[in-house]
Amino acid sequence: MKTQPTLNNTEWIERQNAMRTNLSDTLYAMYSGNIDAITTNPALMNVPIDDHLTHRGDGVFESLKCINGQLYNANAHLARLQHSCAGIGMPPPCPTSELLQIIRNTIRAGGQKTCLIRVLVSRGTGTMGIDPALCEGPILYVIAYRLTQRIENGQLKPARACLSSIPIKPRQLATIKACNYLTNVLMKLEARERNVDFVISIDKNGNLGEGATENIGILTQENELLLPTTEHILAGTTARRALELAQTLLTAGTLTAAETRDISPKQAATAKEIFILGTTTDCTPIIEWEGAQVGDGKPGPISKKLLALLKSDMTPTSETLTKVF
């Protein structure tokens, strides 16, 4: 029977480095509030084992996108982070202006002008038990890492989707971005098992909910652009922004409505278009729903217009961008 060695500090770090040397093109930089510093060595991008984030999932997070050296929709993300902190009874780790500067510094240290940023706020370290009152926190972690998207021939790749069998989260948990993502992980696993790209939950009233990490929208036969209400799901920052931008299509008469509303599976089944909205998916057209073709089986005109509006919203002159470099 193999006996595991007890290593000294130097030997431990050497093994860590050897195990994670190939991750420098994936993980660019990490800020740790425990150390109040940034590292660019993936082997040192760690969270302590006695952090409630590690062994209890006790924390909240946000995922932001940096495009060509500018953060997209940062104010909306950081406002939602504060909402999530309040939702689990935890104070923010620092003022928003300080947090934004830490995010900037982490991205700059990673040296990649286009990347994703994960902001984690943990209840803190100090106990292997469950009592949050014994934690020394909150503690902030910020990671800059590689942005990957569904790209095919230079365009967002159309997708297939279906309804999920995984029970939706209780409202209290669904409306905050908590780090316990087991339900979301099971939805992603279900999508793989069913050979689709996305699965969509059903809320307690039998209406469409959300995907594992993204929101859904439809275009009805009456040219209504509808997104599910946020009573039982997380309010998506990209989804909200897409609705705001879609008001121009409403004004132009291209749409007859652009709003949140309860959406039944039947409405989805008869929709002219279905699309997925999210930080990494932008506006991804769904061309197959529940095994049936959506529309003519190609990305529809409204999904194309929404994607164009979102892309325009990410250009250097947009009010939604925050300069990093």
- Looking up tokens 């194309």, which residue turns up? 304
Find the catalytic residue in 65, 113, 157, 177.
177
177 among known catalytic residues: yes
Residue 211 neighbours by CB under 8 Å, 6+ apart: 161, 187, 198, 199, 200, 201, 276, 278
- CA gap 164, 145 in Å, rounded: 29
Of 253, 14, 265, the closest CA to residue 163 belongs to 265
- CA gap 24, 65 in Å, rounded: 19
Residue 111 neighbours by CB under 8 Å, 6+ apart: 28, 29, 40
Residue 312 CA: distances (Å) to CA of 37, 69, 128, 154: 35, 16, 47, 17
Helix (H, G, I), strand (E, B) or coil at 54: helix
Do residues 70 and 316 touch, judged by C-beta distance below 8 A? yes
* Amino acid in the structure at residue 73: N
End-to-end, the C-alpha distance of the chain in Å comes to 54
As a whole number of Å, the CA-based R_g of the chain is 21
Of 121, 147, 123, 144, the closest CA to residue 135 belongs to 123
Of 97, 147, 125, the closest CA to residue 32 belongs to 125
Catalytic sites, residue numbers: 177
